[in-house]
Structure 1
Amino acid sequence: MKINTKNKLLQRRRAQQLGSLLSVAAISISTAAAENAAPPASDDQAGLPSVTVTATRREASLRSVPIAVSVLNGDLLEQANRNSIDSIAAELPSVNFRQQGGNKDSTIFVRGIGTISTSPGVEPTVSTVVDGVVFARPGQATLDLLDIDRIEILRGPQGTLFGKNASSGVLNVVSRKPGKDTAGFIDASYFEGNERRLRAGISGTLVPETVRASLTALDTKYDGNVDNVANGNKVNGFERQGLRAKVLVTPNSDLDITLVADYLRSNSSPTFVAYKSTSAPFSQAIAPVIASTENRQIRTDIPSDISDFNKGVSAQIDWRNQGYTLTSITAARQWDNEQHTTTSAIGNSADISRISAAFPATRDIGTLHYRQFSQELRLASPKDSVVDYVLGAYYLHGKDEETYQRIVTTSATSINSGFAPYSVTSDSYSLFGEGNYLISDGLKAIAGARWTRDELSYNHARTSTQATAFAGVQPATSNAGSTSESAWSGRTGLQYDLSKDISTYATVSRGYKGPAYNVFFNMLNRDTLALKPETSDSYEIGIKAIGFDKKLSVNLAAFQTNYKNYQANFYDTVAGAVVTRLINAGEVSTRGVEIDVEARPVTRLNLSTSLAYIDARIDQFNCPAAAAASCTLNGQTLPFSPKWKSFSRVSYGIPLANGLHLELSADYSWQSKVQFDLFQSVNTIQGSVGLINASIALSSSDNGWRIALIGKNLSDKSYATNLVNSSGYVTRAVPRDDQRYFGITARKDF
């Protein structure tokens, strides 16, 4: 406990010192601003910029698309130190992120719906698309993002135009295009906790009028915010390096060829800590660590270690002829993941005196080797016609090969293990199209459909040192299987423009997620039957408006979505250890209202706020045979889905003398209580949480530099991004901003 008290005192002292630094900097710079400020710009010049999205697979203004879409600006994300998919969830009231042991086990939720499974035989409910390329496995998209122009979040089923893995929504990531003029940047950051980030990039013309290119590099490291009392080291951190290259070739005015290559490697030590003890033996076993809501300590001789290698290449060809655009996107991606995790309650595999049958030391070693190839063809008709449309065909092939070993130690002389190699092969074929028919001035009909065929097969085998189940390991087995399904999805509706600044829409959508196999380490004969495809029927109305000389925009959407054959993880036990089984859980639904407001009342002031009310519930739960847990779940809320969530940001710019510019910025994210357990344990409820972040930035438009002081979680709120209930205890996932911290960033453009 002395170590913990000393660390807390040091952290508080550093926080006070950095807080004072922020205050002094703010007063000093503000005084300079008052003395040297340039004449203020006229409020008549204020106005919100137009936002372009590709939610309908062609560029259009955000206001004109009849889809609920949120857009995050890449520059603002970088300035706020939000560099990965999991960190942006705070800015999206309709999005939540499930943090688990590693990237392989994490997933995204939209409107309360997401798939919790480590099985390679199941698709994620939310699709991640980067520069037109679908990332078929959710773990591929949870690492740092490079050179981002914007992120579009399409809410609700998007099965018509995006298809694969889009039964609940799409995260559409768009990177920056190379510029014509030679330019570059270097960006360095340092935050408390020894978090260091370094990014650099260069772009420009290689061949005049024909070839442009850009190259961006990343190197970052964070020690972590959890103390390992066994050796005094930090865990729950990461180290990442990456490169992204983009080449744009324009042989003539009608042809664009975009080539992209990216590579990212990561090493991390994700850690769950003791959150609550419900048994005296467990409390004694983890000593000197004390389970608590703010605990950030573990005791382990072998901490978790996870490595990722994610890379890919793609080629997009856009050919324009007489108003038509033919697009081809060819891509190949590779993802390799290796994890070494300690899953014992004690977290110590060497202290045999503390290990027992009740609290064994469990070491998991897993490898993943995934390859995917995809090809998409699209034809877009001329815009602004009585009838316009997008037609296309899509193919995706995926091959996943994994191994998993679990070593269970209950005493110095009792060590048992299980080992399983398994693989999944998938092929998906689609034909799709969506069109708009101009009925009259301002009134448009929308209709689209997609035909999909999924083919899925697997092989699985397991060996074990015991003939009966023990501590999370099932006996030896061997299985194989294959299945295929064909189905239709689509969308229809009406869009009516009340004026050039106000647009309304009403749509009905059908989402589809293909069949699945529950292929995982503890797979049994009961898991050999293929899960049925998951379908969703969604009803949505919305209004998008901009007014007051483009100083205010409001987007409002109301929705109801019903899911059948919902694919969800059901908790079960193996020899007293909690495991999960993927099942067709039955029927669930989500309904709610979302509102996004953005305002620029004067040139210097930017305001934005987003609010979502989402009621995601279990309507009819299908209890599997021989279930070890209670299935009285009808009417209960779905996990990882707070009813209320909001995000607000305010920034104010002050022009100074000599081309300098001061910007003060703050944001506030809040969510109501959230249940993390499908089975509604009282121990896995996170109460409402509100987080405040702020920054002070000074920049020079003439010399191209920017320096910012950033404060995160200024109210110093500790919270959980996941709580896992086990026999006798509860563990917590500790987020990066679990306590207040400060940092500084500096950027130079040249």
Structure 2
Amino acid sequence: MRSKKGMLRLACCTAAIGALTGSFEAHAGTTANENGVTSGDEIVISARRRNEALQDVPIAVTVLTSEEIAKSGVQGVGDIANLTPNVSFDNALNLGTNFLTIRGQGQSQYAPPPAAIVVDGVLTISPLQFNVDEFDLQQAEVLKGPQGAIYGRNAIAGAVNITSRKPGDTFEARMLAGYGRGEEWRAKASISGPVIPGLLSVLAGVSFTDRRGQVENVTTGAYSDKMKDLTGRLRAIVMPTDTVEVDVKYTYSDAKGRDPAYITSRSGDPSVSSDPLDANREGRNPRTLHDLSGKLSVESGFGTATLTLAYVHVSENVEADFDFSPLDIFAVKQKQSESGFSQELRFTSTDDGPLRWLVGGYHVRSKRRIGADIFVDPFYFGLTPEPTQADFLISQSNDLNRYETWSGFANVEYDILPNLEAAVAIRYDDDDLTQHPGTGGTRRAGFSKWQPKGTLTFKPIPEWMLYSSVGKGFRSGDFNASGSSFGNPVISAESAINYEIGTKARLFDGRVILDAAVFRTDLDNGQFKLFDAVGATNVGINIDKTRIEGFEIAGAFRLTEGFTLSASLGYADPKIRGFTPPLGFGGSTAEYIGNRPPRVSRYTANVGLDIDIPVSDDLNLYVRPEFRHTSGFYWDLENDYRRPSANLVNLRAGLSDADGSWTVTGWVKNALSEKVTGEYQPFTNSGHPLGIDVYYPAVGASYGIELTYSF
């Protein structure tokens, strides 16, 4: 047994700015598509699965336009999250271990995020799909608050809606080449255009990354943060008529990720991250991914019917030192694979008239196999007269989990008055889970939940909108590994009720944009995972009740032509109000009441300046400095181990020709060289057999140059 020592959720929620400066740019001639793009002076988004002006959507939304994505160097979900107030993202251990936190609701190792991740209108099935290179990103929307009725399962705290460029009837080619610190080489190329004009358009792309890394293992001489990745994509758009579109996309990725080894904390102080990496084994993290989706859209005078089918298969392994020292005491090998098939049928009404609606159903079936072997040198058990190597198996787990979900959803919006809208949404999820433990036998569990949401929107003048909403969110439960040394067999499902009031304003002919909101979330059975070194797995536990109070506010100000300042502030203050220690966990309930859940920062702040000016008739200069502050948080439920605050400064500056066909950009990430780890495991969390605290290696500043060319 381990010993552990130890409101109206008011959270002002921002909509629309992490990079809202793009809304100041007129993109004449650009038309909206289903996924949402910039049109004229407006940013058009698909937050409610239909094209609407950002100013008209009563949801806290941060939007990154294609221009913002290019200037900020956004490459994936992590970059998008870290430009958004009250949202953070970390990755540690291996490619598939991600930590997405939205408004105080977080993600643990090998667990689904608290948000739906939607790429080109297709809901991702596995969290292992996160760190895959995207091509030609066109727009990203981060929605906050429960979005299950529109976006699907696990959207308990929000949704991330990503749109990439579609091939069309115009031939286009884009190339990127870059070099950065740590001997990082990057190259990317895509080509798109009509194969049969008016009928078939195709996009083909490939990207390659080869990074040596910066964090050197002083024992092996290898680098921890190494990376090799080859990703290819093929996308085809077929339009047999003006009202029928077929969108098929396939992505293949072959990646060899970082060394999963941790560093032993000599001080036991999470604020110290300067210990050497001295593990005697060089770890491996290979991953392969196949991602295939197809979408059929049929328009009529009645509305649009959309059928989406998706299949994914991901395989990711880990081999690592497990004593994190120059001695060959422990080693670990982990195998994980996940595959699934989903289908969604959705009907969306036209925008004509005061009544708009959406209705549909969703089904997904998936399976995940995860297992780990822990090896030890027999010498340390007194079985050999001298050390040999860590090749004696002492612990093993191997479970197959199967999941199936059936869902139905609907959303109705009605204009009570020309400036007053009421919206009601509902979703029902029914999850069936089966586990086949490696030791034999079968476990079964089921979770179901209704998720209603109501919103009232009032626009006293066209430039100013007020809204209020109440909604319920849901994230399904799961099984713990059969070989866990503590914890309950089943991780309970989460549910949350979110109360929110927000406003959006466009002032002084659009030169000033202000968005703000307040929210409170009452969260039941919040999920968090602890590493179980004895069982070679992660163990999920539930925090009975948490109340999160906070706010978000953001603004963008066009100072003069070519100079725009944007800023945002997020505040989320979660407090544990009820906790029942699971089996084998230890400690009393009173020790945890009033504590903050792990991995939740109280404050996030973003400040950015866009400078875009012509330097001659043929050249433009742009400069984009960005500052991100993330306040400290706790690694453990006892709130004994605290990560310090982090201040991240990024800078990009470049030259481009007048029509934007080429750019040369210099960049610096983490210019202050803040070395704050993305993962710290105190012994009280991990129960490591050597009784040590460990953390993931922190990487300092990086810098480089890249060239893009398009025609």
Taking structure 2 as the reference length, what is the TM-score of the superposition?
0.88
Q: Does 1:734 align with 2:705?
A: no
Match of 1:64 in 2: 56
Structure 1 stretches lacking a partner, 5+ long: 1-40, 280-289, 350-360, 463-477
Distance 1:170 1:337, change over 3 A: same
Match of 2:236 in 1: 247
Distance 1:526 1:556, change over 3 A: closer
Give the Cα–Cα distance (whole angstroms) in 2 for the partners of residues 573 and 716 of structure 1. 32
Match of 1:339 in 2: 318
Q: 1:523 aligns with which of 459, 484, 509?
A: 484
Aligned ranges 1:638-649 → 2 under 5 Å: 638-649=597-608
Match of 2:398 in 1: 421
Aligned ranges 1:345-744 → 2 under 5 Å: 345-346=324-325, 348-349=327-328, 361-409=329-377, 411=379, 413=383, 415-462=392-439, 478-519=440-481, 522-523=483-484, 527-528=488-489, 530-570=490-530, 574=534, 580-628=538-586, 631=589, 632-681=591-640, 684-702=641-659, 704-726=661-683, 729-735=692-698, 738-744=699-705
Letter of the 1:636 partner, please give it. N
Match of 1:354 in 2: none
Give the Cα–Cα distance (whole angstroms) in 2 for the partners of residues 158 and 142 of structure 1. 23
Distance 1:630 1:148, change over 3 A: farther
Letter of the 1:741 partner, please give it. S
Distance 1:411 1:151, change over 3 A: farther
Checking the alignment, whether the CA contact within 8 Å between 1:98 and 1:640 is kept in structure 2 is no
Partner deviation per Cα, 1:168-200 (whole Å, 9 max, x = no partner): 221222111113221111111111111111011
Give the Cα–Cα distance (whole angstroms) in 1 for the partners of residues 365 and 88 of structure 2. 28
1:711 Cα shift? 2.0
Distance 1:191 1:630, change over 3 A: farther
Checking the alignment, whether the CA contact within 8 Å between 1:97 and 1:107 is kept in structure 2 is yes
Aligned ranges 1:208-227 → 2 under 5 Å: 208-227=197-216
Match of 1:193 in 2: 182
Distance 1:334 1:205, change over 3 A: same
Give the Cα–Cα distance (whole angstroms) in 2 for the partners of residues 613 and 570 of structure 1. 26
Give the Cα–Cα distance (whole angstroms) in 2 for the partners of residues 565 and 292 of structure 1. 30
Give the Cα–Cα distance (whole angstroms) in 2 for the partners of residues 710 and 115 of structure 1. 30
Checking the alignment, whether the CA contact within 8 Å between 2:481 and 2:539 is kept in structure 1 is no
Q: Does 1:265 align with 2:265?
A: no
1:721 Cα shift? 2.0
Identity across the alignment (%): 23
Checking the alignment, whether the CA contact within 8 Å between 2:518 and 2:552 is kept in structure 1 is yes
SS in 2 for 1:565: strand
Moved more, 439-448 or 228-237: 228-237
1:494 Cα shift? 0.6
Q: Does 1:113 align with 2:105?
A: yes
Q: CA RMSD in A?
A: 2.5
Distance 1:556 1:373, change over 3 A: same
Letter of the 2:435 partner, please give it. Y
Match of 1:133 in 2: 122
Letter of the 2:620 partner, please give it. H
Aligned ranges 1:82-161 → 2 under 5 Å: 82-118=74-110, 123-161=112-150
Letter of the 1:611 partner, please give it. L
The structure that is helix-richer by fraction is 1
Checking the alignment, whether the CA contact within 8 Å between 1:390 and 1:435 is kept in structure 2 is yes
1:331 Cα shift? 1.0
Give the Cα–Cα distance (whole angstroms) in 2 for the partners of residues 676 and 227 of structure 1. 25
1:513 Cα shift? 1.9
Match of 1:29 in 2: none
1:580 Cα shift? 4.5
Give the Cα–Cα distance (whole angstroms) in 2 for the partners of residues 75 and 215 of structure 1. 22
Give the Cα–Cα distance (whole angstroms) in 2 for the partners of residues 526 and 606 of structure 1. 51
SS in 2 for 1:411: helix
Q: Does 1:746 align with 2:703?
A: no
Match of 2:4 in 1: none
1:88 Cα shift? 3.5
Give the Cα–Cα distance (whole angstroms) in 2 for the partners of residues 447 and 348 of structure 1. 61
Letter of the 1:704 partner, please give it. S
Match of 1:468 in 2: none
SS in 1 for 2:405: strand
Distance 1:348 1:306, change over 3 A: farther
Letter of the 1:407 partner, please give it. F
Partner deviation per Cα, 1:655-714 (whole Å, 9 max, x = no partner): 132411111221111122222222312xx3222221222222111134721101112222
Distance 1:95 1:292, change over 3 A: closer
Checking the alignment, whether the CA contact within 8 Å between 1:85 and 1:143 is kept in structure 2 is no
Distance 1:435 1:725, change over 3 A: same
Checking the alignment, whether the CA contact within 8 Å between 2:71 and 2:652 is kept in structure 1 is no
Distance 1:492 1:745, change over 3 A: same
1:482 Cα shift? 1.1
Checking the alignment, whether the CA contact within 8 Å between 2:260 and 2:285 is kept in structure 1 is no
Letter of the 1:673 partner, please give it. G
Aligned ranges 1:155-174 → 2 under 5 Å: 155-174=144-163
Q: Whose Rg is larger?
A: 1
Letter of the 1:508 partner, please give it. V
SS in 1 for 2:585: coil
1:633 Cα shift? 1.0
Letter of the 1:298 partner, please give it. L
Moved more, 627-636 or 557-566: 627-636
Letter of the 2:81 partner, please give it. A
Letter of the 1:328 partner, please give it. L
Give the Cα–Cα distance (whole angstroms) in 2 for the partners of residues 292 and 167 of structure 1. 31
Distance 1:689 1:176, change over 3 A: same
Give the Cα–Cα distance (whole angstroms) in 1 for the partners of residues 598 and 487 of structure 2. 25
Distance 1:388 1:176, change over 3 A: same
1:78 Cα shift? 4.6
Give the Cα–Cα distance (whole angstroms) in 2 for the partners of residues 362 and 137 of structure 1. 30
Match of 1:10 in 2: none
Aligned residues: 659
SS in 2 for 1:297: coil
Letter of the 1:203 partner, please give it. S
Checking the alignment, whether the CA contact within 8 Å between 1:96 and 1:640 is kept in structure 2 is no
Give the Cα–Cα distance (whole angstroms) in 2 for the partners of residues 97 and 739 of structure 1. 17
Larger RCO (CA under 8 A, 6+ residues apart): 2
Letter of the 2:83 partner, please give it. E
SS in 1 for 2:155: coil
Letter of the 1:368 partner, please give it. Q
1:272 Cα shift? 5.2
1:133 Cα shift? 2.0
1:163 Cα shift? 2.1
Letter of the 2:224 partner, please give it. V
Checking the alignment, whether the CA contact within 8 Å between 1:633 and 1:679 is kept in structure 2 is yes
Checking the alignment, whether the CA contact within 8 Å between 1:218 and 1:242 is kept in structure 2 is yes
Give the Cα–Cα distance (whole angstroms) in 2 for the partners of residues 678 and 270 of structure 1. 28
Give the Cα–Cα distance (whole angstroms) in 1 for the partners of residues 659 and 525 of structure 2. 59
Partner deviation per Cα, 1:373-396 (whole Å, 9 max, x = no partner): 111111111114221110011111
